[in-house]
């Protein structure tokens, strides 16, 4: 009788645990990925990362970690495999890490303003748009190249299937650099002033720009 009672307790415990996991999963509506539905009158901007981590499964919760960053604002970029994280603070702080193992690959202070950071074709090389020029570093933080033909760059986009680094500058120039040869392929002035926004369409490698005059 004792074994039967013990077995019943174990089964009840398992059922309660399964119910809790199911309830936590329903909070985030896993069948509708990509967004959170807030309660009436509630703003999703008020939902903290801690609340989210407490509502997901154990595997997802383990991916949650905190970084104390004091040299921002920061720009970030993930490597193509999604494992390596690159951060660059406006006050010169640059760091690369494996965000899964939390292993710090490198951390440097370039001693000048940083406007954008970008992984290149793999996790062994990244570029940093600094105050005057674009610099390339390896994953140990060692400077590899200084690209003086790319000056006053604000934004970068890397086209992995073309091995091209595309940049937008303070003066309104859009440039493409062949990373494999270190050669500037082409450059032109958009004649719309400062290029404030830049992104790429990963499906066709089309570069989209946003200008201070409201043109896109």
pLDDT tens, residue by residue, 27-66: 555 555 656 777 788 787 777 877 777 777 777 777 777 7
pLDDT in tens, 152-203: 999 999 998 889 999 988 888 889 999 888 888 888 887 777 887 888 888 8
In this structure, the answer to whether residues 37 and 136 fall within a common structural domain is no
Over 80: is that where the pLDDT of 14 sits? Answer: no
Sign of the alpha-carbon dihedral angle for 119, 131, 135, 186: positive
Kindly report the average pLDDT of the chain as a whole number.
Answer: 82
Higher pLDDT, 134 or 42: 134
Percent of the chain at pLDDT above 90?
A: 32
Q: Which CATH number fits the domain that encloses residue 172?
A: 2.130.10.10
The answer, yes or no, to whether residue 2 has pLDDT greater than 70, is no
The confidence score (pLDDT) of residue 129 equals 93
58 and 102 belong to one structural domain: no
Look up the domain containing 133 and give its range. Answer: 72-211
d(CA 118, CA 126): 6
Beta strands in the chain (DSSP E): 74-78, 84-89, 93-98, 103-109, 114-119, 125-130, 133-138, 143-151, 153-159, 164-169, 173-178, 183-189, 195-201, 206-211
Closest CA to 94 of 72, 79, 78, 61: 72
Note the pLDDT of residue 5: 60
- Domain identity same for 52 and 145: no
Q: How far apart are CA 189 and CA 108, in angstroms?
A: 33
Dist. CA 46–CA 74, nearest whole Å: 21
Q: Do 115 and 164 fall into the same domain?
A: yes
pLDDT reading at 103 higher than 80: yes
Check residue 216 and give its pLDDT. 53
- The closest alpha carbon to 128, from 160, 171, 158, belongs to 158
Asked if the structure places residue 197 within a domain, the reply is yes
């Amino acid at each position: 009788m004792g074994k039967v009672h013990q077995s019943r307790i174990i089964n009840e415990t398992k059922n309660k645990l399964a119910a809790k996991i199911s309830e936590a999963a329903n909070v985030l509506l896993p069948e509708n990925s990509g967004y959170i539905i807030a309660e009436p009158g509630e703003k999703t901007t008020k939902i903290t990362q801690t609340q989210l981590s407490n509502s997901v499964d154990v595997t997802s919760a383990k991916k949650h970690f905190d970084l104390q960053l004091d040299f921002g604002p920061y720009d970030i970029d993930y490597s193509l495999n999604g494992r390596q994280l690159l951060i660059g603070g406006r006050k010169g702080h640059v760091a690369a890490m494996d965000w899964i193992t939390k292993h710090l690959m490198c951390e440097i202070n370039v001693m000048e303003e940083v406007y954008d950071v970008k992984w290149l074709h793999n996790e062994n090389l990244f570029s940093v748009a600094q105050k005057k020029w674009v610099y390339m570093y390896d994953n140990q933080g060692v400077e590899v190249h200084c690209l003086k033909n790319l000056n006053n760059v604000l934004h970068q986009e890397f086209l992995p299937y073309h091995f091209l680094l595309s940049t937008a500058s303070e003066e309104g120039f859009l440039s493409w650099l062949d990373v494999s040869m270190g050669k500037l392929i082409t450059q032109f002035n958009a004649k719309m002033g400062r290029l404030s926004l830049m992104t790429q369409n990963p499906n066709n490698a089309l570069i989209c720009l946003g200008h201070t005059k409201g043109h896109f």
